[in-house]
């Protein structure tokens, strides 16, 4: 049996989701007539405390539609260099929207420097610079290892942007993990931002789908952008039905994923070859690296060999580059599975003579 820690996207739909999908009432959503999608959108808006919501097939489409809705051609989007939107979404804001991306460094906890934001914002008075329309933030932060922005940090970012007439979009692919870690409702985390995307298809375990939330006016624009991107779907209530189950049944159990991740992180910290900062493991993602007997971090090549060895011992993990390995806990894993994974990793270390 393989324990798959590559991502929380490998989760399989729960039995309740299968049942809901089978029974879903559907209609043509391009006419706005799919009752299940409409119910999911109402539920998402309600849970996040926003006026309206839009169902999209992927997080990437949700972020792209949001960015296109906020920033017009020639208007700049300010973004962190480690952000998913910048690194993994094919440059949509620029390639599709004609928006230059103004990139600032992301700190190791996923936070952006307020001073760099302030000095980077252009109000359009200088004809040399593209006026800034949007600031994008990410919570939890994927590349930083599932780190969380707290209410004070979000308020500081949003208030600064607002003071300069800049909108804020939150890539909240794992916002429910952030809310769980902080012990606050999601609505509190998104209250000060103009829009937010979250994934149903990650920790919440739905097979497909993400949501965009914001004001009614913003969602109207995002809806048009979804059409532009080819995301107008028909009887997609069959997948939205699983999304409703995700929101109603899969949020409270995220705490289990976080406990498993801590268990994994503490277990890894016991191995002298492993370099890990347990304090930074606050949600369901753990980043770590492996050192050899000379205390050198494994090269990318060696990291791939280590991952292949771990796979031989029944554990799948991924790499983030530069010798960083990533493991993610999720629905479908039990406490015993974490122990089994730790044994597999230990055997891979022994095999590699590390």
Ligand X SMILES: *Cc1c(COP(=O)(O)O)cnc(C)c1O
User: Token pair for residue 113?
Assistant: 């420097």
Q: Does the protein bind ligand X through residue 210 (CB under 6 A)?
A: yes
Q: Which element (helix H / strand E) includes 138?
A: strand 132-138
User: 285 pairs with which residues across the strands?
Assistant: 328
Surface-to-core class of residue 139, CB atoms within 10 Å of its CB (0-12 exposed, 13-18 middle, 19+ buried):
buried
The residue sitting closest to ligand X, measured at its beta carbon, is 59
Q: Does the protein bind ligand X through residue 289 (CB under 6 A)?
A: no
Using the minimum distance from each CB to ligand X, give the nearer residue, 75 or 171. 171
Q: Please, what is the minimum distance in Å from the beta carbon of residue 138 to ligand X?
A: 5
Tokens 């060999």, residue? 305
Q: Please, what is the minimum distance in Å from the beta carbon of residue 283 to ligand X?
A: 11
Q: Which of residues 142-161 bind ligand X (CB under 6 A)?
A: 142
Mapping DSSP to helix (H, G, I), strand (E, B) and coil, where does residue 193 land? coil
The count of residues interacting with ligand X (CB under 6 A) is 12
Q: Does the protein bind ligand X through residue 171 (CB under 6 A)?
A: yes
Order across the sheet with 324-328: list the strands.
274-275, 285-290, 324-328, 318-321
Using the minimum distance from each CB to ligand X, give the nearer residue, 129 or 316. 316
Q: Does the protein bind ligand X through residue 138 (CB under 6 A)?
A: yes
On whether the CB atoms of residues 318 and 306 are closer than 8 A, the answer is: no
Q: Does the protein bind ligand X through residue 303 (CB under 6 A)?
A: no
Surface-to-core class of residue 131, CB atoms within 10 Å of its CB (0-12 exposed, 13-18 middle, 19+ buried):
middle
d(CA 186, CA 209): 18
Tokens 């479908």, residue? 332
d(CA 216, CA 233): 20
Q: Does the protein bind ligand X through residue 237 (CB under 6 A)?
A: no
Using the minimum distance from each CB to ligand X, give the nearer residue, 64 or 273. 64
d(CA 23, CA 233): 19
Q: Please, what is the minimum distance in Å from the beta carbon of residue 347 to ligand X?
A: 30
Q: Does the protein bind ligand X through residue 173 (CB under 6 A)?
A: yes
Q: Please, what is the minimum distance in Å from the beta carbon of residue 56 to ligand X?
A: 9
Q: Which of residues 190-209 bind ligand X (CB under 6 A)?
A: 199, 201
User: Token pair for residue 177?
Assistant: 């993990």
Q: Which of residues 13-72 bind ligand X (CB under 6 A)?
A: 58-60, 63
Using the minimum distance from each CB to ligand X, give the nearer residue, 8 or 194. 8
Q: Please, what is the minimum distance in Å from the beta carbon of residue 80 to ligand X?
A: 11
Q: Which of residues 63-122 bind ligand X (CB under 6 A)?
A: 63, 84
Using CB under 6 A, list all residues that contact ligand X: 58-60, 63, 84, 138, 142, 171, 173, 199, 201, 210
């Amino acid at each position: 049996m393989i324990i798959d820690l590559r991502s929380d996207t490998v989760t399989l739909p729960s039995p309740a989701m299968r049942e809901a999908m089978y029974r879903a009432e559907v209609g043509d959503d391009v006419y706005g007539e799919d009752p299940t999608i409409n119910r999911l959108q109402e539920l998402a808006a309600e849970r996040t405390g926003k006026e309206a919501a839009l169902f999209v097939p992927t997080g990437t489409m949700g972020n792209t539609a949001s960015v296109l809705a906020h920033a017009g051609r020639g208007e700049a989007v300010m973004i962190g260099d480690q952000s998913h939107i910048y690194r993994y979404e094919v440059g949509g804001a620029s390639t599709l929207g004609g928006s230059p991306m103004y990139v600032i460094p992301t700190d190791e906890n996923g936070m952006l420097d307020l001073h760099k934001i302030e000095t980077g914002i252009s109000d359009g008075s200088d004809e040399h610079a593209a006026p800034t329309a949007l600031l994008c933030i990410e919570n939890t932060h994927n590349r930083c290892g599932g780190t969380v922005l707290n209410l004070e940090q979000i308020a500081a970012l949003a208030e600064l942007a607002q003071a300069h007439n800049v909108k804020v979009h939150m890539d909240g692919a794992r916002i429910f993990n952030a809310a769980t870690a902080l012990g606050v409702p999601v609505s509190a985390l998104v209250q000060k931002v103009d829009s937010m995307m979250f994934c149903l298809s990650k920790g919440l375990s739905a097979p497909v789908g993400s949501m965009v939330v914001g004001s009614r006016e913003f969602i109207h624009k995002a809806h048009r952008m979804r059409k532009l991107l080819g995301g107008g779907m028909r009887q997609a209530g069959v997948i939205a039905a699983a999304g409703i189950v995700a929101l109603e049944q899969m949020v409270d159990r995220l705490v289990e994923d976080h406990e498993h991740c801590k268990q994994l992180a503490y277990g890894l910290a016991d191995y002298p070859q492993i370099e890990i900062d347990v304090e930074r493991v606050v949600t369901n993602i753990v980043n770590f690296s492996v050192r050899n007997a000379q205390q050198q971090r494994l090269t990318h090549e060696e990291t791939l060999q280590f991952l292949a060895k771990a796979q031989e011992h029944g554990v799948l993990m991924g790499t983030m580059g530069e010798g960083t390995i990533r493991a993610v806990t999720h629905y479908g894993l039990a406490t015993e599975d974490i122990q089994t994974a730790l044994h597999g990793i230990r055997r891979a270390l022994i095999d590699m003579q590390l």
